Chain A
Amino acid sequence: MRLLPYGEHAVLVELDDVTVVPQVAASLGSLDGVAEAVPGARTVLVRAAAGTEIHRLHPRIRERAARPGEVVGAVHPPRLVEIPVTYDGADLNELAARTGLSPREIVERHCATTYTVAFCGFAPGFAYLSGLDPVLQVPRRAQPRTSVPAGSVAVAGPYSAVYPRSSPGGWHLLGRSGITLFDLHHDPPALLAPPALVRFVPT
């Protein structure tokens, strides 16, 4: 584990085990004096609350980050969110050709795993879901689309994701879901906020 200072009021915690990042973020976010703990792929950015000096939090951050599962009361069991998907995506056949699988096998593999919300970014409610079958891990499209419809279920690199709203995008589209991913009147506003678990269910 490394603590990398990030400006006057924050520190970036780099973890050795990437699989515990969402849990460590949840645990650090509940520490006294922490305003916010934001997970990335292998890091958690901890921002101090007003009136707290970030370096004073370093010892407690180290302690908690070293034992992600052991903080009693800090972490609730992660929610499991099921996302219904119509698998008729524009890139299903291309991905089949590329992986040597049939479209049906791609769908089966995409639905076979339980994903973890690793972190959010790109757009409000856009969650990077880890746990993707290695066979389905392909680089982004060479030519990003200028517009990907809201609800598109996609894969790129080691992640799967669902586009919360229409936006440009370079991921491979497998299907679509009508689920609402971002709701201003919900706390947290992202349906898929770390460390939630996700399963895709074909409709």
Chain B
Amino acid sequence: MIEIIAPGPLATVQDGGRPGYAASGVARSGAFDRAALALANRLVGNEAAAAGIEITFGGLAWRVRDAVTVALTGAPCPGLDWARAVSLPAGATVVLGPPTQGLRSYLALRGGLDVEPALGSRSTDTLGGLGPRPLRTGDLLGVAARTAGAPSDAVGAVEVRPRPLRLVPGPRRDWFAPDALRMLHTARWSVAADCDRIGIRLDGPALARARTDELPSEATLPGAVQVPHGGRPIILGPDAPVTGGYPVVAVLCEADLDAAAQLRPGQAVRFDLLR
């Protein structure tokens, strides 16, 4: 068991999420950077999608009640070795500083977090209100015994350096002016201040529409680049509404949604367009 001393700006329990319930209005949720959670879990000998803690901009502090092996991946934070299994004795206290790069860190605990699942997932859905609420000071989190193997003595290497995010043209590209896709590719974008698990809003030039009528609501997926009336794109995150009425101009490649999870407000973003 661990005791949360401070959650930092936002810390939530996340696992592989709850895909398959979109027709009931339920988002996928789950770790925003799924590769980072999978690596953390592999390092401590868990199943790749076991429940860990998604830490947003560091700041998480906890006290160890019972000795446990942990691993921290994603955005590296001072306070704990990065991307390797670490044994923490009972009584140890860990205080994470803000990450040196990236935004979201993942803490896996050997055995996985013992939290009541909702629809087969222990993930917090920050918009839909499913799963456990975000962590608070004083929370006690149990550790389960669901392991898949021995902890690894390897040291992981998840790339958190910025690189262009790869896109493919989206289902509603014909709702935009002919140069919209090219502009997405060539313009300089930056991450707006309101960037969370629901969506990453981008500042930059407005993408002009070829059609200005209302799009009847249609289903969306995390990684879709949706463009509201103002013309500023939003990359949908794992907690985004499952249906929406804004046209999708492009869709991120699945692997690059992990990279998008590490974008900080104010950071520059570039896109590569695959045809």
Contacts and interface: CB of A to CB of B under 8 A. Distances in A.
A9 B253 CA distance: 9
Given A43-B219, A193-B23, 4 more contacts: A6-B221, A36-B19, A128-B217, A189-B24
Contacts of A123: 25, 128-129
A25 B221 CA distance: 16
Contacts of B223: 7
B168 A124 contact: no
A38 B217 contact: no
Contact of A7 (B26, B129, B221): B221
Given A7-B224, A35-B19, A41 B26 contact: no
Contacts of A25: 23
B24 A124 contact: yes
- Residue picked from B23, B217, B223, B252, most chain A C-beta under 10 Å: B23
Contacts of A165: 129
Contacts of A120: 22-25, 242-243
A38 B118 contact: no
Given A10-B221, A121-B217, A193 B168 contact: no
Contacts of B242: 38, 120-121
- Residue picked from A9, A165, A184, most chain B C-beta under 10 Å: A184
Interface residues of A, number: 40
A122 B252 contact: no
Interface string A24-63: 0100010000011111111111010000000000000000
Nearest to B274: A8
A125 interface: yes
Given A38-B242, A124-B26, A184-B119, A6 B170 contact: yes
A5 interface: yes
Q: How large is the interface on B (under 10, 10 to 19, 20 to 34, 35 or more residues)?
A: 35 or more
Contact of B252 (A7, A42, A188, A189): A7
A78 B195 CA distance: 40
7 contacts: A5-B171, A12-B171, A45-B221, A120-B22, A122-B241, A124-B25, A184-B119
B191 interface: no
Contacts of B25: 120-127, 190
Contacts of B125: 124
Contacts of B118: 184
Contacts of B129: 123-124, 165
Interface string B232-250: 0000000001111000100
Contacts of A35: 19-20
A5 B170 CA distance: 7
Interface in A116-157: 119-128
Contacts of B217: 40-41, 119, 121, 128
Interface string B86-104: 0000000000000000000
